[in-house]
A and B are shown apart, each in its own frame.
With several copies, the nearest count.
Chain A
Amino acid sequence: MSVYSFLKEIAHTDPATLGRKDFQTDQEVRWCPGCGDYAILAQVHKTLPELGIPRENFVFVSGIGCSSRFPYYTNTYGMHSIHGRAPSIATGVKVSRPDLSVWVVTGDGDALSIGGNHLIHALRRNVDLKILMFNNRIYGLTKGQYSPTSEQGKRTKSSPAGSVDYPFNPISLALSAEATFVARGVDVDAKGLGAVLERAAHHKGSAFVEIYQNCNIFNDGAFDYMTDRKTKAETEIRLEHGKPLRFGANGDKGIALDAQMNPMVVDVATHGEDKLLVHNETNAALGFFLSRLVHPEFPTPVGVFRAVTKPTFDGMMEDQLTAAKAKSKGGGVQRLLDGGESWTVT
C-alpha cells in the first residue's frame, strides 16, 4: 500500500460547503490600513470557494514582500518562501502533485526583480500555476525603493535624483515568455478583478495576472489616473475577445493602426468601427501590441490579453511517467541493480 493512498481514501471537503469565511485565517492581517492588498485578498477569498475544489487541495506559495504575506491570511496549504523563488517552489509542488491547485502570490519586486528569471521560465514551460503579481510599482516591505515597474525619474529613497531605470512592461514580458494566459486587473475594481481571477483559475496552464495595487504609504495614488471615476472612462480600456477596441464615455473612442503599424486613438464615429482593431485572445503578437498601450498616450487595457490552451508541463511530465510505467517490466529498483554487465564470485 502506497504511503499516498490515504489521500484517496480520506473524505475530502465537499467544495459546495465552502464559503468565503472558510478561506480566512486566524492571523491578524498586518498590511497598512488602506493598502490595496486588502481588496485583492477579499476577491481571492470570494473566488476560491466558487472553483469546486476542496480547500485542502489549494496551495499558495509566495516570496517576500508585503504582498507575499498573503498565504498567512488564506486558510489553505501555503508557503511564505524566500525572495523571488515562489515560481520555482510552486513548480515543484505542481509537478510532483498535479492533483493540487497551485497559486503564486508575488509583488513587482519579488516577481520581476530578483525573481524575474523563475517567473519567465515557469511561464515558458506552461506549468499549471495561477500567478498573481501585485504591482504597486514600489518595494513596499523594504520601505520604498523604486522597483522594475517604477516609472523613470521616480524619486525614492534609493533614487533621490530620480531613477534612470526604464521600467518593464510586465504584460509584454509575460507574453514574450510564452504565457498561455495573461491578464490585468485593478485592486479597487472588484468586479473586473473577480472576473479575471475566475478566468485565471479555470485556465489550464500558467496564468499570469498583473494586479495594479495601491501602496498608500510609499507610492500612493499610482493608479488614480485610471481608478478615479471622473477620468476612468478615458484612461481605461476593457479587453473583450472578438470585440473592437473601444473606450471613452460612450465608447466613442477606439484604437486603430496607422500606416506604420503604430497604434492610434481614433474617434469611432469618423473613423468607422470596422477599422478598429478587434481583440483576439489567441494572437500573442496582438496581445503584445495591446500591452504597448501605455498611459498617458493611451488608455490602459484591463482584462485578458491572451488565453490559449497548450499541453501543460506537469501534464506532459505525467504522461511520460504513465507511458514509461505502462512499458515497464516491473521489478522496481532490484531490476536496475541486477541489470547490465555483472559477474559472480563464489
Chain B
Amino acid sequence: METTISKSSSTFESVAIRFAGDSGDGMQLTGSQFTETTALAGNDLATFPDYPAEIRAPAGSLAGVSGFQINFSSREVFTPGDEPDVLVAMNPAALKANIADLKQGGILIANTEQFGVKNLERAGYKSNPLEDGTLSAFRVFPVDITNITLRAIADVGLNQRAAVRTKNFFALGLVYWLFSRDMQHTLDWIQGSMAAKDPVVAEANARALRAGWNYGDTTEMFAQRYEVPKARIEPGRYKNMTGNEAAALGFLAAAELTGLDLFLGSYPITPASDILHYLSKQKHLGVRTFQAEDEIAAIGSAIGAAYAGSLALTTTSGPGIALKSEAMNLAMMLELPLLICDVQRGGPSTGLPTKTEQSDLLQVLYGRNGESPIPIVSASSPGDCFYAAIEAARIAVTYMTPVVLLTDGYLANGAEPWRIPDMASLPPIPVQFHTDPATFQPYARNEVLARPWAIPGTPGLEHRVGGLEKANVTGNVSYDPMNHDAMCRLRAEKVARIADSLPATEIFGDAEGDVLVVGWGGTMGALRAGVERARAEGHTVGHVHLRHLNPMPNDLGDILKRYRKVIVPELNLGQLWMLLRARYLVDAVSINKIQGKPFKEHEIARAIAEHAGSKA
C-alpha cells in the first residue's frame, strides 16, 4: 500500500507507546502488529506486555486491564521505556491503571465511547477525566473509536459484537499514521492468517485499520506526525521472540546438539506453562512431553528419563521448585544430567502469580537438605533464554549434574526482535554413553570429575544408584564417615570447577572507576540503559551481568575490586547481593524493588549517581 504522507512531521530518537484496554480488547495483538511493523521499519525496539492477573476480571474493571508497551528508537534499545510518550486507552479502567506512567506532556488517545457512567464507575472515577480537567498535564485526544469503526465497517455484515471487536485495528491504524508507519505488513497479515480463519472478519479489520489511518490523516485533531529513523542493527533475519519460546527452542537445540532425545516432565503453572505447550507440539522432533499429576511427579519422570538416557527437563515456577527440591537433591546425588527451568514469578507463596520477580535465586541455590551443590544459569533477555538453555544443557551433560535455568515472568512473556541463529554455527555438545564393562565404575570420575553415563540396555553395566550416600568410585551404599566427607567435597568441587570452563566476564562500560553495577537475569536491559544514562551524565560506571550464578566466574572477585562502589540492583530484597558480600567480602549496596515490575532506567541511573556521588 502506498500511503500519502500529509501534515508536518518531526523526528525523534526514541518513542514509547503503550496500548491499554480491557482483556477482550485485543491489546496484545495490536502491540505485536505494531512491533513487527516497527521492526521492519528498521528501528531497534523492546516490548513489555502486561497481562491482567490470573483471575478473569469483569469487563471494564481495573483488574481486567491488559497493556502492551513498545519502545522503539534509532539507537540501541534496552528496555520498553520508563514512561510512555503515548498512551492509547480503550476504556476508563485502562486510563486509570496507566495514566500515572504517561510522560508529562505525553499524548493520550482515549476511546470516548467507553467513558459512560457505568464504565467510569467500574474504574473508580467519580467524574469523567476526559472532561473534568484532571488530565491537563497531557495532550488529550478523545476519539469515538467504537462508533467510527462501526460506521466504517457497517456494510461488511458482521454482527454488533464482532464488529465492535475490530476497534483495536482502528486504534492501530491511527497510531500507524501518527508514527508514519507502513500498514502493509499488517494488511498482509490480515489477508493471510486472519482471512484463513474468517475472511469477513479479516475484511472488517482491514477496513478498521484503514479507517484509523484515514482518521488521523483527515481530521484536524493531530497537528503533526512523528518519525523515528532507522537504527543501526546487526544484519540478519529477525523475528519476535518471547522468553518461553526461546527457552523451548534452546532446549530443542540442545537436544539436537547433543544428539539426545528431549524429555519434558512438567505440571502446568503460570508463567511457565507455555514452554510445555510449545514443546508438546514438537513430537516430530522426537520430543516426549509428560504432563504429570504434580511437580514432584514431573521431576521424578525427568529423573527417570535422564537415567534412561534422555536430555531430561522439568519446567515450573517458584512454588513448583519448592515441591521439587527433594527430587532435585536426588538428581544431585545420582549425578545425572537434568535441566530444571524456573520461570520466576512474584512470591512468596502463591504471591503474585502473573507478575515478575527475581526471588528464587537463594531457593534454587540452598533449598535442599544437606550440602547440595547445583549449578545455576540465568537468562538476561527474552531471546537470550535460547542461549542460556543451551548453556544449561552443556553443563548438565558435561558435568553429569542437574542444572537450574532461571528465567522470569518478564522474560517469559516479554518479546524482543531476535536474530535467528544458524544451528550449524552453534558448537556441538558431545555426549558419549559409557559402554565398556571393563572400565566401568558407576562413580568413577573423568578429568572434570563427571561420572560415566551408563544407560539401561547396555550389557554388563547393570548398576544401582540411589539417594543414600555412595562410596566413591563404586557407588555402593556407604556409611563410612570419611567417605561421606570426601564425597560432599567432591560434589562441591565438581560444581566449583565448572567456572574453569567459563569465558572471561564481559564488562560493559568502564573497566574500572566509580561504580560497578552487578546484575543477573531479566533486569539486563534496565541496568544497561541505566548505566548508559549515568555514563552520559559523566560517571565512570561498569556493568557486569552474570549468566552463571553458581559457580560464579573466576575473575569476578578481581573485577569487583576495580570500582569504588559496587551496587547490585535486583527485583528481590538482595539475594545476589548477599552472595557477593559473603563470597568477596565486598561492601556492596543492594538496590531492590519488589513490585512485580521491572526496573526503570532512571531508577538505575539515579542509584548509580547517588553512589558515584558519595566519593567517601
Contact = CB atoms under 8 A, between A and B. Distances in A.
A contacts B directly (C-beta below 8 A): yes
Interface string A149-171: 00000000111110001000000
A309 interface: no
A345 B233 contact: yes
A10 to B, nearest CB: 6
A161 B476 CA distance: 41
B234 A100 contact: no
A95 B54 CA distance: 32
Contacts of A276: none
Nearest to A320: B283
Given A117-B294, A159-B280, A342-B420, A3 B259 contact: yes
A77 B256 CA distance: 27
Given A3-B433, A345-B42, A160 B281 contact: yes
Q: Give the size category of A's interface with B.
A: 35 or more
A158 B281 CA distance: 8
B297 A96 contact: no
Interface residues of B, number: 100
B297 A121 contact: yes
A154 B258 CA distance: 33
Given A337-B421, A343-B239, A145 B268 contact: yes
B310 interface: yes
B500 interface: no
A64 B351 CA distance: 12
B293 A64 contact: no
Contacts of A121: 292-293, 297
B441 interface: no
Interface string B302-314: 1111111110100
Contacts of B330: 81-82
A56 B458 contact: yes
Interface stretch (B92-100, B221-229, B269-277, B536-544): B269-277
Interface stretch (A190-198, A281-289, A322-330): A322-330
B237 A343 contact: yes
Contacts of B421: 337
A14 to B, nearest CB: 10
Interface in B158-202: 189
Given A89-B301, A97-B457, A145-B273, 12 more contacts: A6-B433, A55-B462, A57-B457, A72-B477, A80-B464, A80-B467, A85-B327, A92-B307, A92-B312, A114-B267, A117-B297, A325-B286
Interface of A: 2-4, 6-7, 10-13, 25, 27-28, 30-33, 54-61, 64, 66, 69, 71-72, 75-85, 87-97, 99-100, 113-114, 116-118, 121, 139, 141-143, 145-146, 148, 157-161, 165, 217, 317, 320-321, 323-325, 327-328, 332-334, 336-338, 340-346
25 contacts: A7-B457, A7-B458, A10-B458, A55-B459, A61-B304, A79-B465, A80-B466, A80-B467, A81-B330, A81-B467, A89-B303, A91-B301, A95-B288, A97-B308, A100-B456, A142-B268, A142-B270, A148-B293, A161-B280, A324-B284, A328-B285, A333-B252, A333-B256, A343-B238, A344-B236
